Amino acid sequence: MDEETRYEAVRSRDARFDGAFFFAVSTTGIYCRPSCPAVTPKRRNVRFFPAAAAAQRAGFRACRRCRPDAVPGSADWNARADVVGRAMRMIGDGIVDREGVTGLAERLGYSARQVQRQLTAELGAGPVALARAQRAHTARILLGTTLLPITDIAFASGFASVRQFNDTIRQIYARTPSGLRAESRAPSGRGAGTETALTAGVPLRLALRGPYHRAAVFDLLAREALPRIEEVTGAPGSRTYRRTLRLPYGTGIAAVDERDAGPWLDARIHLTDPRDLSTAVHRLRRLFDLDADPYAVDQRLGAQPALAELVAERPGLRSPGAADPDEFALRTVAGQDAAAELIDEYGELLEVPCGSLSHLFPEPKALADRLPLAAALHDGSVRLDAGADRDDAEQALLTVPGVRPADAALIRRRALGDPDVAVPREPADDAWRPWRSYAAQHLTAAHRNAHGAAHPQETETAHRQETAEENDR
């Protein structure tokens, strides 16, 4: 998009572009999302930025009406396989907060200077500024939804000091942390300790873009749910998905509701350590594919003769990811029944079980003597983290005994969130690029609707059986 096209999107308050770019008004010093309901500023007073961090770095503060820091992320970061896309996925997962820019650069295989230069050239902000914007957003959520003391929120959000936290909040929101909390609908209960505040969980609205076919996502999660770590309860249309999470600083339990209450999914996250909030949110967003651009996907696939009717029937169909890439890879290779047995035998018991959720899926090191893939994940010869190179990861997977090509493709699509994994036995699938993973979801949904059973592309067991039959032939 050129700047004139962006300005037309602002004039029309087009929510399709929320998160794709931001605009700032030089006369007010405020930056907004394209759909901001405020009076449209004059063109000569408008500047455009590819990221909220770039607008903040230029000295603009967030609009209080449209909350531009709460928009869905750009779909580019999931689609792109270059260093910028990989870096953005890793920043979202909290790598900069935990390991610094040096750690980010090492994971990407570049120098810190190269990473800084590439991000700044394309986004107008480096990794520190991008991580800082994410910390500020996390802090705003905690200030507005929990009883955590403000000092605890500063460190839970990833800030190195209370002073840095205060300065950042003032700069971005033109409010003190206490003032921001007072303006929000924060729960009452002054003086609550950290443990008390976390017991209630953190209520969230996980923003999404465009139509969202909720039923298909929750149907898939219900079919895949493993006892003791996942469950889907309730009637269709009002179901709740709950699962346990292994996080960098502790553990968590997340609950996400299916009901359609607006352009978001309602969620609640219980954490043993509040520093894990941004990482937990990022992983839920990947699981539910909330940063996708359904307009671009549906426009492309809807123009294809083989898919047009399917797209019209299920607008906004998503390609779900995984909350824990290593876990998804291991359960894919092991199969559903064997994965449940692994939880019984090797799963880690939660300190405080919650209903039927009582365990964490075993870490790769616990299964290293039993599954070759677990050993490869544990020693680092296979990497499936947020910034992993997808081609390298797939090639590494194919060298592991017991991992078939169909397994590797499914892991690439789900665990690595690749939106463009080839659809087996579909000679016309090149025309579906760069959204072949979504095409596979449409074909699976149509097959289930027609036959009431899994499509050969859907389950990991079917993938392995299909590939074995082809090898035998």
Catalytic residues: 32, 430
Closest by CA position to 214, among listed 228, 234, 229: 234
Tokens found for residue 228: 């003791």
How many Å apart are CA 261 and CA 231, to the nearest integer?
21
b/e map of 89-109 (b: 16 or more CB within 10 Å)?
Answer: bbbbbbbbbeeebeebbebbe
Task: Give the integer Cα–Cα distance in Å for 249 and 244.
Answer: 14
Angle at 258 between CA 254 and CA 262, to 5 degrees: 105
Q: Quick one: which of 308, 428, 426, 413 has its CA closest to 79? A: 413
Identify which of 221, 294, 256 has the alpha carbon closest to the alpha carbon of residue 458.
221
Query: 370: Cβ–Cβ under 8 A, 6 or more apart, which residues?
Result: 342
268 beta partners: 203, 255
End-to-end CA distance of the chain: 50
**What is the token pair recorded at 279?**
């990482």
Exposure string of 120-157, with b = 16+ CB inside 10 Å and e = fewer, is bebbbbbbbbbbbbbbbbbbbbbbbbbbbebebbbebb
Q: What would the two tokens of residue 267 be?
A: 């969620």
User: Residue 434, preceding bond cis, omega within 30 degrees?
Assistant: yes
Q: Locate tokens 């990991």: which residue?
A: 460
Work out the number of other CB atoms within 10 angstroms of the CB of residue 430. Answer: 10
DSSP assigned state of 225: P
For residues 259 and 238, the answer to whether their CB atoms sit within 8 Å is yes
